[in-house]
Amino acid sequence: MSTQLAELTVAETAIPGLLILDLPLHGDARGWFKENWQRAKMTGAGLPDFRPVQNNISFNELRGTTRGFHAEPWDKYVSVATGKIFGAWVDLRPGESFGELVTVQVGPGQAVFVPRGVANGFQTLEDHTAYTYLVTEHWSETSRERYSYVNLGDPTLKIDWPVPLAQAILSEADRGHPNLSQATPVPAKRILVLGGGGQLGQALAQRAASDQRLHVLARAEADLCDPASLDRLDWSAYSHVINAAAYTAVDAAETPSGRKRAWQVNAQAVQELAARCVDHHLGLVHVSTDYVFDGMDKVYAEESSIAPLGVYGQSKAAGETAVGSVPRHYLVRTSWVVGKGANFVDTMTRLAHSDIDPLVVDDQVGRLTFADDLAAGILHLIDSDAGYGTYNIQGGGQPLSWYRVAQEIFALCGQDPQRVGSTTTAEYASTKSPFAPRPAYGVLDTSKIRASGYVPGDQLAALKKYVSRAEQR
């Protein structure tokens, strides 16, 4: 009769992310059987969505064989096929848990998930022990350059090895590894930002001064539309990619050359980027726009049906579809972005101090989103492990027309807001060629991002701060 010795459970340890699994063993007179790795069941029980690419086996002839401490730059799932080990793990990631030690005896009925940056070591407790491990990156000779090590006999760790190290079987390399005080910390994976020259990209670049994870690249350094440029990147160094690159020349997109470029940047290149994120198991944050809607509704939620009016919106909608192929994705829709670079607020500020009284459309309604607020919201999604999917990030406050925004700017500049005249989109379009159709309403429902713990800043408060800084320049 078949017997089951344990239920599948996943337990936390003193090292964050280091998880101990109890595995069901089904046995009879012939021996036993177990599901050593079963993604659906194990992720359902609390394991991260681990996607290994390589399976390795270490066969150990004699009891007392001791291997370790290696902290590799990838996640690892370790188990025992036959025999038994005394496992030990030391956290080498910077932070409060650096140097934390966990030891566990592991047989066929247990497994351990070892996160990137945690040093792994073990000692066999029986002859003929086979130790197996699944990893999330392919091993190569150059992989060792990214390892970090700790000495198995470091007295500060006080590890009570079952077989004293003086009697154990271990390599000279393992005997010579540094103690914890000299160990090299394993840095967290970085966040790659593409499109560093745009308004959002520059806001993220400013944050990079205090957030060392952010690796911001402008188009000259990494061109989203140039596969050879992207091939030069070490994708294994990143946990996430923020795609801040886009073709945003809305009117030019209606021309033959602009249409081609819009689809190349906003759709085709995004599809290629999404494929790379799938291949390398990266999280992808992609920024889209209210232009994927037709503007017939007064408020748009994340699940609202898209119906773009112009080429720009159509190309961005196609990019959204590509992003949906990435299991770990955040699709962030926003609108009316204001940051460093050419933008509506800077234009109106300049006109306020000139002798020009502008005409501004009064039948396009939305909210301003300041680039720094957008950047903060994106990083919140990553850092809070918010559920993947679509989120609206837009400034808070009552929706305004462009005309009302212009009046606010003139007032903040100490000018008479009545200098700003109102017009309609149709009247304005008659003076422009080409002119892309715009959604009349670009108001986004931000309930979902608020529920995740991030509250976008009030647009008028941010506008006041932005104009005040511009006035001081």
Q: Are 277 and 326 in contact, with CB atoms under 8 Å apart?
A: yes
- The two structure tokens encoding residue 145: 């350059």
- Angle made by CA atoms 84, 88, 93, in degrees to the nearest 5: 145
The residue ranges of DSSP E strands in 207-347, in sequence order, are: 214-217, 238-243, 283-289, 329-334, 337-338
| Dihedral in degrees, nearest 10, Cα atoms 369, 374, 377, 378 | 140
Spell out the residues 6+ positions from residue 22 whose beta carbon is closer than 8 angstroms to its own: 6, 7, 8, 9, 11, 109, 110
Q: Which of 70, 240, 286, 329 is catalytic?
A: 70
- The two structure tokens encoding residue 311: 């080429």
Q: Which of 133, 238, 312, 403 is catalytic?
A: 133
Three-state secondary-structure class, residue 336: coil
| Closest by Cα among 452, 335, 448 to 382 | 452
Our answer to whether residue 70 is catalytic in this structure is yes
Provide φ and ψ at 357, rounded to 5°.
-105, 105
Spell out the residues 6+ positions from residue 132 whose beta carbon is closer than 8 angstroms to its own: 36, 55, 56, 57, 58, 78, 79, 80, 81
Our answer to whether residue 388 is catalytic in this structure is no
| Closest by Cα among 203, 299, 308 to 250 | 308
Question: Catalytic amino acids?
Answer: 70, 133
